[in-house]
Structure 1
Amino acid sequence: MIKYKKRGFLIMTAKYLQIAADLTNKIKHGQYKAGELLPSEPVLSELYGVSRETTRKALAELMSAGLIQKLRGKGSVVLDRARFAFPVSNIETFDELNKQEQMHATTEILQFSDTKMPSSITNQLDITEPAATFVERLRSINHEPIVIDQDYILKKYVPHLTIEQAQKSLYSYFERDLGLEIDYATKTITVEPADKKVIQSLQLEDTNLVVVVRSLTYLKDTSFFQYTVSLHRPDKFKFVDFARRKAQHGRIIL
């Protein structure tokens, strides 16, 4: 076990988690590249000074994270991470994902204006105060455009948004400065043709299709406050979710 203190508490970290974190960092920084095999279990065990069982646990963590795949008779191959797993099931901002994944991402403001929430949303949710701020941002990773985010934010909850705040993390401003409690979102995913502007901004060459993720985001008191349309390059989009099959025993079907 590795011990360290955090806010007066003694935290215990298992050795296999430390090894998994070190291997993850090496994969992210290209020491182990996509398609290459990691060192064998005996080599890793000797390298880190641990048992084979500890090494297996560390590799199991990497496999669960989608970083490697174990091949019978060969070892652990590093998987291609060219497609970034953007959060769909969770409410996680691009800025947060950037810090976690160390993606070296940048944000460019394409549009910033006062507007109204789209009528399709106001009609659906019976919104009586539709005044909103529209923010369109281009997200790039390693100088390559990846996604366009189009946000409609109700002025009722965020009355004085600025370009400077939009350039950074919107949710950091919402939660820390305004004290908004963002709680849940409903999302739909479709594949749709893109217009010329989007094709140009995302530098699409072999297709005119984009993955569209539409999100309706709500506060803890169930108040709707934000509508987001995210336009993803299909060659860089990956949706990862967790699902568990429910037992069918004793189930009554009517």
Structure 2
Amino acid sequence: MKKYEMILQDLEEKIKNKTYQENDLLPSENELVKIYDASRATIRQALKIMEEKGLIQKQKGRGSVVIASSKLNFPISGLTSYRELQDSLGFKSETEVIKFEKITVDSELAALTLLEIGTPVWYIIRTRKIDGEAVVLDTDFVKYDICPDMTKDDVAYSLYDYLEKQLKIEISFAQKEITIDFINNEDREQLDLNPLDRHIVSVKSHVFLNDASVFQYTESRHQVDKFQFTEFARRQKR
């Protein structure tokens, strides 16, 4: 891990555990240089990323102010695994793997996933539980040839953790579609929904490697009353 990443991780953790609370000023750049024994350029790089992520606001003459935030605000943009999101937001969750099997892409699945007909894929269905309630239903199709030895335990913990840390696969970008859908039979079967619920938030993603080839199609279906889907937007100077 690079020095600026270590500093970024430590500062994010301090914000999460309330060492630095909302509207607090972070230590000055000079103070951070001494605290982390790092160059000013390294400190500025860490702070720049924190500002882009909406964690702090730099104010001229004051420094870096911690921005107010809420738990379980799911970001719309970015490519973050559920495990990473869980760790960054500080909530506890359990994952149950409902299905984990190898299948072959047919014409219908090819149109959905953008993978070629005949491509072997892992077919994975997982539920995410918070406070004992299943509130997210994830369905994934992942190219089999990039991770043939992947196990059910690997996907129960974190699919991306396994791909990136164990296999050193570089995941590049995703194209997302977010819609409000009617609840279907599978939602009713797998999620702990309110009997009066009629809709669900669906996040569909095609995920690509560095060579711009698609390797995964995923759909996450979320209870509408459990999450806020947010994006931090900063106006660019013109």
Give the superposed CA RMSD: 3.5
Segments of 4+ moved more than 6 angstroms: 6-9
Identical aligned pairs, as a percentage? 29
CA distance in 1, matches of 2:186, 2:86: 25
Deviations 1:146-205 (A, max 9, x none): 201101001132223211111111111111222211000000001111223312422211
Deviation at 1:7, TM superposition (A): 7.9
What are the ranges of 5 or more consecutive residues in structure 1 without an aligned counterpart?
1-5, 33-37, 46-52, 68-80, 250-254
Deviation at 1:223, TM superposition (A): 1.3
Residues 96/227 of structure 1: CA separation in 2 closer, same or farther (3 Å cut): same
Secondary structure of 2:230's aligned partner: coil
Give the TM-score, by structure 1 length.
0.65
CA distance in 2, matches of 1:62, 1:8: 24
Q: Contact between 1:117 and 1:154, CA under 8 Å: does it hold in 2?
A: no
How many residue pairs get aligned? The number is: 197
Give the TM-score, by structure 2 length.
0.69
CA distance in 2, matches of 1:160, 1:88: 31
Q: Contact between 2:205 and 2:219, CA under 8 Å: does it hold in 1?
A: yes
**2:116 equivalent among 109, 127, 149:** 127
* 1:28-177 map, 5 Å: 60-63=65-68, 66-67=69-70, 81=71, 84-117=72-105, 119-120=107-108, 122-123=110-111, 125=114, 127-177=116-166
Q: Contact between 1:217 and 1:226, CA under 8 Å: does it hold in 2?
A: yes
Q: Contact between 1:103 and 1:142, CA under 8 Å: does it hold in 2?
A: no
Partner of 1:221: 211
Secondary structure of 2:66's aligned partner: helix
Secondary structure of 1:239's aligned partner: strand
CA distance in 1, matches of 2:76, 2:185: 26
Partner of 2:17: 25
Residues 149/8 of structure 1: CA separation in 2 closer, same or farther (3 Å cut): closer
Higher relative contact order (CA 8 A, sep 6+): 2
